[in-house]
Structure 1
């Protein structure tokens, strides 16, 4: 008495398998093109070899913004993790801190790193930075990919101030940040004025930082009266000292070929 049911089951299975084969042969894939593009790693960019920016605890490629060397509050632990020691704070913030900034300037590059933030903490990855004696911080020139504990930092109440956002300008989509204390990944791709911000393996922000649309975004942001903000398509890279504990590891960069 089980044979009719078995035959029916086999027939349905063959139909389903045939449908799947037809889908594969026709090139049809699950998920929309947009979804696939968002999760595709941008590894198709032609470029040079990767350079580690943190090797054996060496902060030689870095300095605090507008300083000659890295501030004493930026430290590397025995596991090779870079962190900001916030235990000594003065009137103007962390003593020996400041935005940790690369010695080199970069154009057309791909940057990867991992980060985690302390509870209710705030930091950021700031890029296309120019140093100037009349500017006290990297964010006066460079756009920022926000690093934040979205669960409890007050900035999270503002939709363009959350982790992965182009700070005060573009909201990250999708929202995929992990909780404070857990590692998150960043991939930043800058090519000929086009920027991609990737967080935890997904494209969350993409934009062009030249042209009328970019100028309009600046005009509608808190940076509208900052003459040098967002005026560069290349520059240095900074890890922000916002006065909160933050950790970074596996920091590497490579130059990309111009289009």
Structure 2
């Protein structure tokens, strides 16, 4: 570095000092870059290791490992419910007790579907929140634990766009994610959620059940699924539930319809 405003020998002295400072600064920057690169490399390695824990459930080309009634097709690397005929079930293995499931889903106008991951009526709801009448009740809306727990917000994308879904279950805690946001997180043994859990029980769900099949619901409308991945969560893996989770409130009109449905379920159960 040179100083052009000062005459004589001071130029060389100042130039030498500033030059040395410049070299030192460069060394420090290079060292910081090296440390940053090392940290980034470690982080990438950890992410890579985590990614290898997942089992790909769908290769994007075939129904290998899946069973259906002939009403599902593969369209542009996705499962597509093309006609009535029943749900699409994964047959290769049961869902682990503690697990993480990731998938992408896309709905048609007015569509209602869902991902079932434990025995009975335990469902991550897949829905067109705007076009389906179920959307008026957050406890039946997209990413809800259907007929049990509403999400904390509506994070859906418009009809025709892909959404990312994620289910994490460990012990007695259930988490649902939608488009990168954790929208449901509760411990079903917590007394404050007892009324919600009771609703699901009336419908036929049992949150204590384990070892269920994974299946994608056919509820009568076109729906798409892709990039389904599943992993078992190790017992020693850190897990941090959110104690401040709050589900969306249920509008009075939707709540009244829900109560009517509950009464019909109870009467049907008594008549059996």
Q: TM-score, normalised by structure 1?
A: 0.65
Equivalent residues in 2 for 1:1-259, closer than 5 Å: 49-63=53-67, 70-77=68-75, 79-86=76-83, 94-95=84-85, 97-105=86-94, 106-129=96-119, 141-210=120-189, 212=191, 216-219=195-198, 221=199, 223-224=201-202, 226=204, 229-259=206-236
Question: Whole-Å Cα distance in 2 between the matches of residues 235 and 216 of structure 1?
Answer: 24
Question: Whole-Å Cα distance in 2 between the matches of residues 115 and 50 of structure 1?
Answer: 18
163-172 vs 196-205, which deviates more?
Answer: 163-172
The answer (yes or no) to whether the contact 2:188–2:197 under 8 Å persists in 1 is no
Question: Whole-Å Cα distance in 2 between the matches of residues 233 and 193 of structure 1?
Answer: 11
Aligned pairs, number: 188
The answer (yes or no) to whether the contact 2:200–2:206 under 8 Å persists in 1 is no
Q: Which has the larger radius of gyration?
A: 2
Q: Which runs of 4+ in 1 moved over 4 A?
A: 45-48, 210-215
- What CA RMSD, in Å, does the superposition of the two structures yield over aligned residues? 2.4
Question: Whole-Å Cα distance in 2 between the matches of residues 194 and 48 of structure 1?
Answer: 24
Question: Whole-Å Cα distance in 1 between the matches of residues 112 and 171 of structure 2?
Answer: 29
Deviation at 1:229, TM superposition (A): 3.0
Q: Deviations over 1:74-98 (max 9, x none)?
A: 2212x22111012xxxxxxx13x23
Unpaired segments ≥5 residues, structure 2? 1-46, 237-272
| Higher fraction of helix | 2
108-117 vs 54-63, which deviates more?
Answer: 54-63
Structure with the larger RCO, 1 or 2 (CA within 8 Å, 6+ apart): 1
